Amino acid sequence: QVQLVESGGGLVQPGGSLRLSCAASGFTFGYYAMSWYRQAPGKERELVATITRTGRSINYADSVKGRFTISRNNVKNTVYLQMNSLKLEDTAVYYCNTIVGSVGSWGQGTQVTVSS
| Per-residue pLDDT band at 29 (split at 50, 70, 90) | very high
pLDDT confidence of residue 54: 95
pLDDT tens for 44-63 read 999 999 999 999 999 999 99
Are residues 75 and 53 in contact, defined by beta-carbon separation less than 8 angstroms? no
Which pLDDT tens digit goes with each residue over 72-99?
999 999 999 999 999 999 999 999 999 9
Mean pLDDT score, 59-73: 98
| Rounded CA separation 68/40 (Å) | 17
What integer pLDDT is reported at residue 86 of this predicted model?
98
Would you call 18 exposed, middle or buried from its count of C-beta atoms within 10 A (0-12, 13-18, 19+)?
A: buried
C-alpha–C-alpha distance, residues 80 and 84, integer Å: 13
Q: Summarize the confidence of residues 2-18 as an average pLDDT.
A: 98
